[in-house]
């Protein structure tokens, strides 16, 4: 019997940030094995329903990501929802063996989960990304900070929580313990997978010209672009020769300082390229041509770009702590205790000036077994089967 997948947000956005990638990957992989019906809460219908054709097509892998994370409902979708509500004609949810909720659901969607749960015949599971909004509220969009305490309480209504790393699992358990909650659903760390390297990707080779450092990430406060830019400026001033390439969506609420710094460095003539949102083919090409990657984020739930870098056989610089420390344990990464400008500069300098060290890390990266989305979906489904549920 098939699973239900809540894709309320992802089915109405062209964004391709972490949560959207997880949702789209689960739709593909669970559909290929167990069967899956994606559903959404329709605010115009005022109820839950299976996705229509256009919404389902938006769950397919995206070559080009949208420039906004926001959800958009078309006029046709609004009219159809209103009409269905007024006429009482609504598509029933199918029989199912459980529910997966991979999105950071809104308060409006969360308020209507009891209605959805009533139609679920198996365990109800939510994925959990992180509690970073509580640890770094000054670097997190204010709406996310305001939403987080209620969201973490609402997770208690599920039969199980699949955290995307052991670090995230511990953070959630600690928060509930701090609240004094004694009865909680089981929390299991199930690490994510990564997209396969495109079939037409040639073997990595040393590109001509100065080495390129690559950072693929949204530009927002906690991603710590400021420290990386300061570190690179230190190295450029001392005469190190390299290029820095940045790819990712800029968050309008927390990216302003980093964007100003990028513009100043470019105006000064530094070899710095910022591409914004790029098609998947361009991201793949950037991984192929870089010498190594840098991921100086202050905190992550999983650190997907670290694993992406390794999947291309490219070593990376990242934090030694939290989820990124978990990612680095298998080799191919140079870790720093603090992701400040000075330690980052020292780590980057060592890879620029010590070819043997870079070669060792590159060889380690090439040997790393890469976990796929199919692995992730299979582990999630296997764990779900072990869960008791409230019928």
Query: Would you say the CATH fold of 212-367 matches that of 3-193+373-385?
Result: yes
Q: Is the pLDDT of residue 126 over 70?
A: yes
* Interior/surface letters 301-340, b for 16+ CB within 10 angstroms, e for the rest: bbbbbbbbbbbbbbbbbbbbbbbbbbbbeeebbbbbeebe
Rounded CA gap, 380 and 240, in Å?
46
Domain boundary assignment for the chain: 3-193+373-385, 212-367
pLDDT on residue 249: 87
Region 277-287: what's the mean pLDDT?
A: 90
pLDDT at 224: 94
**What pLDDT, on the 0 to 100 scale, is given for residue 83?**
87
Task: Give 182-233 pLDDT, tens digit per residue.
Answer: 999 999 999 999 988 876 655 545 556 899 999 999 898 899 999 999 999 9
- Residue 32 has a pLDDT of 82
Mean per-residue pLDDT of the chain: 91
The domain 212-367 having CATH identifier 3.40.50.2000: the answer here is: yes
Q: What is the pTM of this model?
A: 0.89
Judge whether 251 and 15 are in contact, CB under 8 Å. Answer: no
| pLDDT greater at residue 184 or residue 251 | 184
What is the structure's pLDDT at 120? 95
Q: Which of 58-62, 74-78, 306-310 has the lowest mean pLDDT?
A: 58-62
Residues contacting residue 109 through CB under 8 Å, at least 6 positions apart = 6, 8, 41
Q: Which CATH class is domain 3-193+373-385?
A: alpha beta
Residue-wise pLDDT tens digits, 316-372: 999 999 999 999 999 999 999 999 999 999 999 999 999 999 999 999 999 999 899
């Amino acid at each position: 019997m098939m699973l239900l997948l809540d894709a309320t947000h992802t089915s109405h956005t062209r964004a391709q940030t972490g949560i959207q990638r997880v949702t789209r990957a689960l739709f593909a992989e669970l559909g290929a094995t167990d069967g899956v019906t994606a559903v959404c809460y329709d605010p115009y219908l005022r109820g839950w329903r299976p996705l229509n054709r256009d919404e389902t097509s938006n769950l397919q892998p995206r070559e080009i990501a949208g420039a906004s994370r926001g959800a958009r409902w078309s006029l046709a979708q609004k009219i159809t929802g209103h009409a269905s509500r007024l006429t009482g004609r609504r598509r029933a949810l199918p029989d199912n063996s459980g529910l997966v909720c991979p999105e950071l659901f809104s308060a409006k969607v969360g308020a209507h989960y009891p209605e959805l749960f009533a139609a679920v015949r198996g365990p109800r599971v939510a994925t959990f990304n992180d509690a970073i909004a509580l640890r770094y509220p000054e670097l997190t969009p204010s709406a996310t900070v305001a939403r987080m305490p209620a969201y973490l309480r609402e997770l208690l209504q599920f039969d199980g929580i699949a955290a995307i790393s052991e670090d995230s699992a511990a953070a959630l358990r600690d928060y509930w313990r701090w609240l004094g909650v004694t009865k909680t659903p089981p929390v299991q760390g199930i690490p994510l997978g990564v997209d396969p390297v495109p079939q037409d990707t040639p073997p990595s080779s040393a590109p001509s010209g100065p080495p390129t450092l690559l950072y693929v990430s949204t530009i927002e406060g906690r991603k710590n672009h400021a420290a990386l830019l300061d570190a690179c400026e230190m190295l450029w001033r001392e005469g190190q020769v390299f290029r820095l390439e940045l790819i990712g969506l800029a968050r309008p609420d927390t990216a302003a300082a980093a964007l100003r710094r990028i513009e100043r460095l470019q105006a000064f003539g530094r070899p710095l390229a910022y591409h914004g949102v790029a098609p998947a083919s361009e991201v793949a090409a950037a991984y192929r041509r870089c010498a190594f990657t840098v991921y100086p984020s202050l905190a992550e739930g999983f650190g997907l770009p670290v694993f992406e870098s390794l999947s291309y056989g490219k070593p990376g610089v990242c934090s030694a702590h939290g989820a990124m420390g978990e990612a680095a344990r298998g080799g191919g990464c140079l870790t720093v205790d603090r992701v400040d400008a000075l330690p980052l500069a020292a780590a980057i300098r060592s890879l620029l000036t010590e070819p043997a060290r870079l070669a060792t890390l590159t060889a380690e990266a090439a040997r790393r077994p890469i976990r796929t989305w199919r692995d992730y979906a299979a582990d999630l489904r296997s764990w779900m089967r072990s869960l008791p549920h409230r019928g």
